[in-house]
Chains A and B, each alone.
Chain A
Amino acid sequence: MLIILDKVNYVYSEGSGFEMKALNDISLTINKGEFIGLIGHTGSGKSTLTQHLNGLLRATSGKIYYDGQDIYDKDFNMKSLRSKVGLVFQYPEHQLFETDVFTDVCFGPKNLGLDKKETELRAFEALEMVGFPKELFYNSPFELSGGQKRRAAIAGVLAMKPEVLILDEPTAGLDPKGRDEILDRIKKLHDDTGMTVILVSHSMEDVAKYVGRLIVLNHGSIMYDDEPRKVFAHYKELEKIGLAAPQLTYILNDLNKAGFDVDTGAITMDEAAQAVLKSLGR
């Protein structure tokens, strides 16, 4: 068990008249090498929760353990936690600031106190990993396309070689092609390196086919925490909280109601096609 959350609560602007409870008794364990989707409607506490995992926000009450250590212990090294739990914020390209992409990606490893050679090596590797074109390495980050900027920013976090990678809506504002490319890259990264990945999104469709475990947040509480196919079985409840299961789930359920004996748990298009063919006896 890599990360354990024990009854974590978080209240925004405590005692100011604008109090807002963002997290409500969250208990959670995250294992090494998992690929988790964190789903919730806007304002459900997704981003707040992710910022707890690397210590940027401090829980109002409750405990968080990383690798068996209490991160709120006085002698716990918060800086090392932030390098172990890499957090890519929403619209991460807004944090780019250097004159060229390569130097910007070097910012993270440089802050870890690595020497120049190691820093540059890591930056190079990270840019490779996200599939950033080599000829653009020394371009200004501000003259890139949206998708390229996003890759550069994700590389900026990857260059710190985190054990856990959290991506907050990594595909927001990208076109479908850019979205699939980024998500495929992340999936590949997870498969190749065994890194623990947490993908935050409000779209089931996006994450369904990538993740092995789905956590649904609603009003700061965990509503479901299970395999995607089991979570999607509750598609009616999901609708009530402003989320939707993937379209496939709806079609398969409708077919089922219409008298076809199909397996409604399919998640990818291929699985669904197989399920339909099977029910037709072919």
Chain B
Amino acid sequence: MLRDITIGQYYPSDSVIHRLDPRVKLFWTLIYIISLFLGQNIFIYGIAGVFLLMCIRISKVPVKFILRGLKAVIMLLMFSVIFNIFLTDGEVIFRIWKIKVTREGVVIAVAMAVRLIFLIMGSSLMTLTTTPNDLTDGLEKSLGFLKIIHVPVHEIAMMMSIALRFIPILIEETDKIMKAQQARGADFETGGIIKKAKAMVPLLVPLFISAIRRAYDLATAMEAKCYKGGAGRTKMKPLKYKRRDALAYLVIFAYLFIMIMVKVYVVA
């Protein structure tokens, strides 16, 4: 159950996309998200879909793996589809009693669903092909300009990478404590909502205690290695653009250009 969470998960493989500079991938995600909002048109979504599938193909990440990330948002997806289908005014296709389904409603619902699915697939492709460390390195560097207005970019990036790093550890810990309490006869599955909430206490208390203990240990270990924040800190593997990164930027701009052209000439 807990293992289904794929947010921030990394899928190890050896592909061009895996080796790209994280800044390129962050930029790609941003551009991709923007492109999805260019308009609700079959051509726009078509090109976005083809582009995404191509990227997934190149990345060698199984499609099944990316689709698993959708499980988490399936409720949200259903909600937006159902509301759009039934609550949009327009040309009525059929009606049962007071509920009516309109052509516009169906179009909007489908468009919304497609957009949401692409959005999540696109961004999970980035996290699946980028190690958490690379990701935060890339973010820190890309947002470096914010330092001018005294945003602690390095600290935020460090917090992010620690948080990401600890997700699997805490999941494992939860699993372990759950089993340990089950071995003592705890029951997490049956009963009403109040009984279930109460059953969480033997799980949550040890989990929080262990998280706090880990945090203390980590802080001590970092201080013992003279960590004192971002100022004057150098990197063992500083990010450097390579030829393939320039090429990737070119592809991204070409994609954006095509999308804008479609928007201007085909859609309008």
Contacts and interface: CB of A to CB of B under 8 A. Distances in A.
Are the chains A and B members of one assembly?
yes
Interface of A: 13, 17, 51, 54, 56, 79, 82-83, 86-89, 92, 94-97, 107-108, 111-112, 142, 156-157, 160
B184 A157 contact: yes
Nearest 3 Cβ contacts at the A-B interface: A111-B185, A97-B205, A95-B180
Given A13-B3, A94-B177, A87 B206 contact: no
B183 A82 contact: yes
Contact of B185 (A13, A88, A112): A112
Contacts of A86: 183
Given A51-B179, A94-B210, A97-B206, A82 B185 contact: yes
A269 to B, nearest CB: 35
Interface string B1-39: 001000000010000000000000000000000000000
B236 interface: no
Contacts of B209: 94, 142
A209 B182 CA distance: 31
A242 B54 CA distance: 46
Interface residues of B, number: 21
B206 A82 contact: no
B65 interface: yes
Given A51-B179, A56-B179, A107 B206 contact: no
Nearest to B186: A111
Nearest to A13: B3
A51 B205 CA distance: 23
Contacts of B180: 89, 92, 94-95
Contacts of B186: 107, 111
Which among A89, A97, A142, A157 has the greatest number of chain B C-beta atoms within 10 A?
A: A97
B3 A79 contact: no
B185 A108 contact: yes
A277 B183 CA distance: 48
Contacts of B176: 89, 94
A92 B176 CA distance: 10
Contacts of A97: 201-202, 205-206
